[in-house]
Amino acid sequence: MLELTRIQSDTMVDASWASPGPRSLVLGLARTNEELEAIQRLRYNVFTEEMNAVFPNAVDGLDTDRYDPWCEHLMVKDVSTDLVVGTYRLLTPEHARKAGGYYSETEFDLSGLRHLYGELAEVGRSCTHPDYRSGTVIMLLWSGIANLLQRRGFRYALGCASVSLRDDGATAAEVWRVARKAMAKQPELYHVVPRHRYPVERLNSVLPARMPPLIKGYLKLGATICGEPAWDPDFNTADFPVLLDVQKMDTRYRRHFGMG
């Protein structure tokens, strides 16, 4: 298995921005064990301490799993404080084979996407420090993902979009209403099947709810929800499978991300 500090050695995200106000934010890839630990600590703080997620492998305030060593870890750092404030990870097809599959395969049967595997990268474990959720950090991270996809020649990006069930499923119901309508209009889209299906028919569709900002952002990018949600007991969330075809990405975002 490749060492953590070498997995990303052939890739560089050439991008940095200054955010409005006193914070200076820079986007890059984790290249040292210390940087990876800072990312894992941020994930622990957000997922476990804020969202009450329970991870069996979390040790010493770090969120780790067996996929981390095989992933490329994007991070946004505030250079004024040297604090990692946002992260995403990307798993390539080659490293997915070495890791024993994509993380998404623990939640979904991806047989319907198998013919895409040569062009399919997985993204996930996204989180942002609570003091930096104005939208700037997530746009930087998306820019980095777009950069990696383009430079590596991957057409598709797959991920799981989590929706908290702490509101009795009201938000998940809203997401599923939107997704089901879109899937009905485009039956030719690739669909995947949850391994532990969340009972969407029981979701409370009466309570008012808004589309979560992250999922709303995915849909604006041009991504599609490609199946029913899986239940993630660690997070107590309904996880929706999201697939982005880079060639069908919204034109405005393609220009914004420098993709022509």
Q: Domain ranges in the chain?
A: 88-256
Given this model, what pLDDT does residue 13 score? 38
Given this model, what pLDDT does residue 35 score? 96
Sequence length of the chain is 260
C-alpha–C-alpha distance, residues 171 and 186, integer Å: 23
Domain 88-256: which CATH class? alpha beta
Residues forming a β-bridge with 122: 91, 158
| SS3 at position 64 | coil
| SS3 at position 187 | coil
C-alpha–C-alpha distance, residues 115 and 131, integer Å: 41
| pTM of the model as a whole | 0.87
Given this model, what pLDDT does residue 1 score? 26
Encode 160-181: b = buried (16+ Cβ within 10 Å), e = exposed. Answer: bbbbebeeebbbbbbbbeebee
C-alpha–C-alpha distance, residues 184 and 231, integer Å: 22
Q: What is the DSSP string of 83-128?
A: EEEEEEEEE-HHHHHHHTS-GGGGTEE-GGGGGGGGGEEEEEEEEE
Given this model, what pLDDT does residue 204 score? 61
pLDDT in tens, the chain (260 residues): 223 232 333 333 333 333 333 458 999 999 999 999 999 999 999 998 888 777 777 778 999 999 999 999 999 999 999 999 999 999 999 999 999 999 999 999 999 999 999 999 999 999 999 999 999 999 999 999 999 999 999 999 999 999 988 888 889 998 998 898 888 887 767 789 999 999 887 776 677 788 899 999 999 999 999 999 999 888 889 999 999 999 999 999 998 888 86
42 phi and psi angles, rounded to 5 deg: -60, -45
Given this model, what pLDDT does residue 75 score? 97
Given this model, what pLDDT does residue 25 score? 93
